[in-house]
Chains A and B, each alone.
Chain A
Amino acid sequence: EDQVTQSPEALRLQEGESSSLNCSYTVSGLRGLFWYRQDPGKGPEFLFTLYSAGEEKEKERLKATLTKKESFLHITAPKPEDSATYLCAVQAFNAGGTSYGKLTFGQGTILTVHP
């Protein structure tokens, strides 16, 4: 069974204090790893998709990286508006090599950035 574990559960940073969020995963065959941001009372907002080990993607103050067992979301010089829950999810290949829509999510990391 696919599993995703995120750490830490909660992270409090001062504005400008860089840090990383971790996502460890176990999946039979990785189709893709996804990062989402979720604000209270809203649906998850797509950030990145990573498909293979060694891949990196950046967007503003965020950078996502992928290895064969985990992914990191690096936040450089965060601002208070970066406060949110960050969710990691994996999508696996089916036995037939196809890929359907099931995402398995971690529990998320609640990030709070203080001014």
Chain B
Amino acid sequence: KAGVTQTPRYLIKTRGQQVTLSCSPISGHRSVSWYQQTPGQGLQFLFEYFSETQRNKGNFPGRFSGRQFSNSRSEMNVSTLELGDSALYLCASKTRGDLNTDTQYFGPGTRLTVL
């Protein structure tokens, strides 16, 4: 099976702009979660989508938003970019799954640099 794919892999933006990142989950996986990784804060949960519905959200401002499409692909959007938004944005997918299959598999990430 192909793994989780994320596009683009690298992105450079300036303060005040907005950006959209894309994630295609592993085939058959219906849940997609997004994480932000920075050297200072580590990996932090942004939100999770399942069946096109956001069912969990982390402690990030409203500038961070996302959505999921009927084919389980997901996008996240960051509006009014700030320097502190520079980070590696990771997408992870999993089946809704029972106890023994509830593992999240990560994509390679999108490296966002805000100048």
Interface residues of B in 6-61 (CB under 8 A from A): 31, 33, 35, 42-45, 48, 50, 55-56, 58
Q: Which residues of A contact B58 (CB under 8 A)?
A: 102
Residue of A44, A46, A106 touching B90 (CB-CB under 8 A): A44
Complex contact B104–A43 (CB within 8 A): no
Residue of A44, A51, A106, A107 touching B106 (CB-CB under 8 A): A44
The chain A residue sitting closest to B6, CB to CB, is A43
Interface residues of A in 63-115 (CB under 8 A from B): 87, 89, 91, 99-108
Also in contact, A100 and B55, with CB within 8 A (given A42-B109, A43-B108): yes
A24-47, CB under 8 A of B: which get 1 and which 0?
Answer: 000000011010100001111110
B54-96, CB under 8 A of A: which get 1 and which 0?
Answer: 0110100000000000000000000000000000001010100
**B residues engaging A (CB < 8 A)?**
4, 31, 33, 35, 42-45, 48, 50, 55-56, 58, 90, 92, 94, 99, 102-109, 111
Query: What would 11 more interface pairs be, CB under 8 Å, given A45-B106, A91-B102?
Result: A32-B102, A42-B109, A43-B4, A43-B106, A43-B108, A44-B90, A46-B106, A87-B43, A100-B48, A101-B94, A105-B44
